[in-house]
Structure 1
Amino acid sequence: MPPNSQSWGLYRGTGLPGATPEEWPQAPAWRSFGGGPELPPPPVDDPCAPAALGTIRQPLPAPPDEVARVNVALHLRRPLLVTGEPGTGKSSLAYRISEELGLGRVLRWPITSLSTLREGLYDGPYEGHDVGEYGGGIRLGPLGTAFLPYRRPRVLLIDRLDRAEIGLPEDLCTVLTAGGFALPGAGSTGPRVSSHDDPSAAVPLPDGAVRCRAFPVVVITTTGERDLPSDLVRRCVTLRSQRPGPDLLRAIAANRFPTEPGRPGPAPDAVDAFVERAAASEGPVLERFLDALRLAADGVLQAVAEGGNWQEAVDTLWQWTAPEEP
């Protein structure tokens, strides 16, 4: 049984904003990077959070082992490597951490087979600009922005790293180990660059280097279809994401379909019926579950069940939401 991290952990796993210590536990000496000067807090609003989490009105139950491993990563300032099948909440975990600990907008880096380390770090300088100029024509990417010297850590989601060519995970180790990176050709005076959050910003970079003050909360997701380099894996706290159980599915349904005047959600018996279908199905089920509830909330389940068997109507909607076989 995993130890209870309620007494020592920052993260509770509820997804609900809560009181957190103004100062986090001191970072290990080998994970302190001393970046500066300190920057103002990042944007609080996150336009992607509602799509990832819905409207959180009740706690989202999290497995104790998941909560404990997240807290180990926070204490040790190590990346969290989350492996699991699609639809098990790997990506939404980054948003839950940020929402609960009040860490501002999540920096998301979706990985493709063409992604490169430079893409995540910065873009530019552009034609007509020199790297040493004010602004420099350089905009930091999500990875580069995460390592700016904020007082509290940013949350960085590196989504589906297993899609990348083998060179990217290996190159990523260099930045994660160094706590930052240098801009080639920046010179000793240091340029000013814009960030992923604010293209109009002019962030000073002393000595032409990006170096974190607080190591970011890095959430790396993978489906496990391809192995990642051992050099990267050993630097991470690993977590195996589990399929959502009945309690979590009901909590997700309550948050995704809050009761609002003039906009009723799915009936409780429909929620129970689709929870049973999800538990009995193989493969990813979360998106199917939400799609089926959306149809039920829109009156489709009632219309299909008219003049027939209600359970057969439930089965029909569940079949409609199934992915097509290739």
Structure 2
Amino acid sequence: MTLWRIYQGVDRPHDRIADLPPPPPWREFDGGRDGTLAAVDRDAVGGGRRRLPHRAAYRADERTVDAVNTALYLRRPLLVSGDPGVGKSTLADAVARELRLGPVLRWSVNSRTTLRDGLYRYDSLGRLEDAGLARHQSDAPAGASAATDLGRYVSLGPLGTALAPYALPRVLLVDEIDKGDLDLPNDLLDVFEEGGFEIPELTRAADQQPTVAVRPHDGGPAVRVTRGAVQCRAFPFVILTSNGEREFPPAFLRRCIRLHLPSAHQDGARLRAIVEAHLPGAGAAAEAAVGAFLARAATGELATDQLLNAVYLLAPSAGAAGPDRDRLLDLVMQHLNDAPPGRP
């Protein structure tokens, strides 16, 4: 089984992504064959954003490891569901770090999010202002505004960057997709099926500027876009997270690999492993917080990050008196399904 597992859920980065076989014929993409491949720093996990500490591995069980590898082999998105705090988002960091795939591209979804938000942004106002300025400069050559570099006004979003023609797959986290508009899952279908998209503003100007260098979402080297078409070479590893707040259309679900992460709220060993991964050496503070968390989770909804907050607060004052510790736990381990204070 180890040979099949490109991602192994270990704490050592490695280059086994090179062993990933060619995709199925129906998932082949040919972006970047003309030598315009974008580059990425493969070891720059996190890209300056929140990331999994390098000293600790994400605790992935065998089912999670197999789901990740299935998505990698089939070049399909991985739809991960589960309660808040079970590690849905952290899985993306773990895969990117172990397989040395560069910074995770994060796209946080809300009720106003559209597909274009994830693909690209076009600064039409900035271009209009620059064109007007060029016209008013007496020493500007004729046609200067038409020759303006369009790449100055276009930037790729996290999804658009993931679909750029990288030699190796980028890791994209689409966080809380169930909070998005009802049409967003269906809007994503064509993009995931085609492995690319078009930037109409660049397509219209393709006769004047056939190739344009645009800024990627993570601030890395510019991506060259030819005739307005962005097409991946390696389909990105996409994690879509869901808190189970809505159902998705069957057409969307059949194009995803699905994984449900069970809650760790009554699993003391797993909770201790999570604490050790994020706050190693917490000792007695961790034991006290885990015990309190297990007791409180039996009577109401809690999230794992509440446990981590409690351990962090208790660790420097492990010898504090009982009442002070209890007050801290009351503050950070309030049940998420309780009514706010003052309300019935």
Compute the displacement of 1:236 (Å): 0.3
TM-score (norm 1): 0.85
Partner letter of residue 162 of structure 2?
A: A
Deviations 1:155-191 (A, max 9, x none): 0000000101111111111101110001114234243
Contact 2:46 2:93 in 1 (8 A): no
Aligned mate of 2:315, from 293, 297, 314? 297
Question: What residue in structure 1 maps to residue 5 of structure 2?
Answer: 9
For the pair shown, the structure with the greater C-alpha radius of gyration is 2
Give distance in 2, aligned partners of 1:148 and 1:42.
15
When structure 1 is superposed on structure 2, of 221-230 and 276-285 the one drifting more is: 276-285
Shift of 1:274: 2.6
1:26 alignment partner AA: P
How many residues align? The count is 306
Structure 2 counterpart of 1:203, which letter? V
Paired position in structure 1 for 2:234: 214
1:277 partner letter: A
Judge which range, 183-192 or 139-148, deviates more.
183-192
Report whether the alignment pairs 1:250 with 2:248: no
Which stretch of structure 1 is more off in the superposition, 6-15 or 97-106? 6-15
Unaligned runs of 5+ in 1: 259-264, 306-311
Structure 1 residues 219, 184: closer, same or farther in 2, change over 3 A?
same
Report the counterpart of residue 40 of structure 1 in structure 2. 39
1:323, 1:132 → 2: CA distance?
A: 56
The structural deviation recorded for 1:207 is 2.5
* Residue type at the aligned position of 1:303: A
Q: Secondary structure at the match of 1:14?
A: coil
- Confirm or deny: 8 A CA contact 2:45 2:51 kept in the other structure: no
For 2:171 and 2:17, the matched residues in 1 are separated by: 17
Determine the C-alpha separation between the residues in 1 that align with 2:147 and 2:330: 56
Q: Deviations over 1:77-115 (max 9, x none)?
A: 000000111111111111111011110100000001110
**Residue 228 (structure 1) aligned with residue 239 (structure 2):** no
Unmatched 5+ stretches in structure 2: 128-145, 340-344
Q: Structure 1 residues 15 and 81, CA, compared in 2 at 3 Å: closer, same or farther?
A: farther
Letter in 2 for 1:8: W
Structure 1 partner of 2:102: 104
Partner residue of 1:288? 306
**In structure 2, distance between residues paired with 1:194 and 1:50:** 18
Q: Hey, what does 1:278 align to over in structure 2?
A: 293
Amino acid across the alignment from 2:223: V
Q: Which piece of structure 1 moves more, 122-131 or 86-95?
A: 122-131
Distance 1:47 1:70, change over 3 A: closer
For 2:186, the aligned partner's letter is E
Q: Who is 1:196 aligned against?
A: 217
